[in-house]
């Protein structure tokens, strides 16, 4: 009898979700202290295997490098769990004695988590920690190109969670790499929320599933080097960010933009720090490799080094090259360098004025990346305020590597590997997603006396409104 992969994938998803639903009933009764202990145990076990999991991810996907993936794994475990210590997620969160309102944290329920191939292990730990901290079971759907390392990460997390007192089924991972299984996971009645991290098609599918979803749009952030910036420090930040895990972090810079008087200084310092400014022929060759004919990013260039990319495109660069840079002035579907490139490749825009820079940044983000991340290097707070009021992003970063600043590693933002893009980016949240995004809040509101109406409402008006409501209710 012929094996029906899609049917098997759907059946597996249903079975895993039934077990997760049973786990939810137990998790819902656990006190905050127990959930905290489970989250701590997950992070500790995962951190111990950070190097192994990084090696597995690079070997299986071919994306990035072991050193930086190890840092990501430790960030997703140690840094995230440190950030959530002391945060209350269940039970009485807040009591307003004056208005007589209580706020009670309630887990949302079973979470379906989509895992990208660019961060196939760190995403598992991060999402599991914030889900279990909030009292929710989580089921992972791995990317077909990263199923081995993702399942290994999920196994480590599940074993640690259960050893710390979580019920069986609190953490699970699908094993059959089929779209049908992922679709079943997202649409099944047991699923209450989808955490979607992946390509545009997958995020769109999550929002089309009929379930509440927190998705992540494409990143395509420009980096503006203002004339008040320390150019050497600005370039160092961009190099550190854009080479981190070979450019696979969606918050990383995708272009450098400057005013004309800054061009020479940026070119000189960029070359000194390993930027290779391609000539038009070289840029044309590489541009043809970046995207497939249908407009999607070519997976063969994701997470590769600059030297590898140059060789693939048929030209040679110095061995010290860290990032390939192409001159650009426009943004749009026919301009490959104006889009998100998950590798150490940047566009370079030179504009006539600060106002022209602002307009171009908005144009780039309107084309792709609205709601995600923008970076500025400047010492003038007035220009930061001006741009912050206009740039359509959720993370506006100043004087920091965007890849690290966006995820909260080098800024005061919540440490996260799921970065909401807000309504402008087609996302339901603009937050760096935390456990507080994975709970509902039940509000207990007490009736107040005539002289204590919470809104200071006139007694006669209150009685009239009450009468109308009762009439409508029949």
What residues are annotated to the active site? 250
Please say whether the beta carbons of 100 and 448 come within 8 A: yes
The two most distant CA atoms of the chain are separated, in Å, by 82
Beta pairing class for 275-277 and 371-377: unpaired
Q: Which of 234, 209, 43 is nearest to 130 (CA)?
A: 43
Tell me which DSSP letter residue 298 carries: -
Report the distance separating Cα 445 and Cα 442, nearest Å.
10
Q: What are phi and psi of 461, to 5 degrees?
A: -65, -40
Please say whether the beta carbons of 406 and 395 come within 8 A: yes
Beta strands (DSSP E) in 128-284 are 138-141, 171-173, 191-196, 213-215, 222-225, 255-259, 275-277
Q: Which of 273, 242, 275, 216 is nearest to 375 (CA)?
A: 242
Please say whether the beta carbons of 397 and 376 come within 8 A: yes
Residue 386 exposed, middle or buried by CB count within 10 Å (0-12, 13-18, 19+): middle
């Amino acid at each position: 009898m012929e094996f029906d992969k899609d049917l098997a994938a759907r059946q597996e998803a249903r079975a895993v979700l039934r077990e997760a639903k049973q786990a939810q009933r137990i998790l819902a009764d656990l006190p905050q202290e127990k959930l905290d202990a489970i989250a701590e145990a997950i992070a500790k076990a995962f951190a111990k295997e950070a190097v192994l999991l990084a090696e597995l991810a690079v070997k299986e996907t071919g994306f990035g490098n072991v050193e930086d993936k190890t840092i990501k794994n430790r960030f997703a475990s140690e840094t995230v769990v440190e950030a959530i210590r002391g945060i209350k997620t269940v039970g009485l969160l807040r009591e307003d004695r004056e208005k007589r309102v209580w706020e009670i944290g309630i887990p949302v329920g079973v979470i379906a988590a989509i895992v990208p191939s660019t961060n196939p292990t760190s995403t598992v730990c991060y999402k599991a920690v914030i889900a279990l901290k909030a009292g929710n079971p989580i089921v992972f759907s791995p990317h077909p190109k990263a199923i081995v390392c993702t399942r290994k990460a999920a196994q480590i997390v599940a074993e640690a969670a259960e050893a710390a007192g979580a019920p069986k089924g609190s953490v699970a991972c699908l094993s059959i790499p089929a779209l049908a299984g992922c679709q079943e996971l997202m649409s099944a009645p047991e699923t209450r929320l989808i955490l979607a991290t992946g390509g545009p098609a997958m995020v769109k599918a999550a929002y089309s599933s009929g379930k509440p979803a927190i998705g992540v749009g494409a990143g395509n952030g420009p980096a503006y080097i203002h004339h008040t910036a320390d150019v050497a420090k600005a370039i160092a930040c961009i190099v550190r960010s854009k080479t981190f895990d070979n450019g696979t972090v969606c918050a990383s810079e995708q272009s450098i933009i400057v005013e004309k008087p800054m061009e020479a200084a940026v070119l000189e310092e960029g070359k000194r720090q390993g930027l290779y400014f391609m000539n038009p022929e070289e840029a044309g060759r590489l541009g043809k490799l970046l995207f497939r004919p249908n407009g999607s990013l070519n997976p063969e260039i994701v997470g590769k080094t600059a030297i590898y990319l140059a060789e693939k495109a048929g030209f040679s660069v110095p061995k010290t090259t860290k990032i390939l840079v192409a001159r650009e002035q426009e943004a749009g579907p026919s301009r490959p360098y104006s889009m998100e490139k998950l590798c150490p490749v940047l566009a370079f825009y030179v504009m006539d004025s600060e106002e022209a820079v602002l307009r171009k940044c908005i144009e780039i983000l309107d084309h792709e990346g609205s709601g995600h991340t923008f970076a500025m290097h400047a010492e003038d707070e007035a220009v930061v305020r001006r741009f912050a009021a206009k740039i359509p992003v959720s993370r506006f970063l100043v004087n920091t590597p965007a890849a690290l600043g966006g995820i909260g590693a080098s800024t005061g933002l919540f440490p996260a590997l799921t970065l909401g893009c807000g309504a402008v980016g087609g996302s339901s949240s603009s937050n760096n997603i935390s456990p507080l995004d994975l709970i509902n809040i039940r509000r207990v509101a007490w009736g107040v006396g005539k002289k204590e109406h919470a809104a200071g409402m006139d007694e006669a008006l209150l009685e009239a409104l009450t009468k109308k409501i009762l009439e409508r209710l029949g």
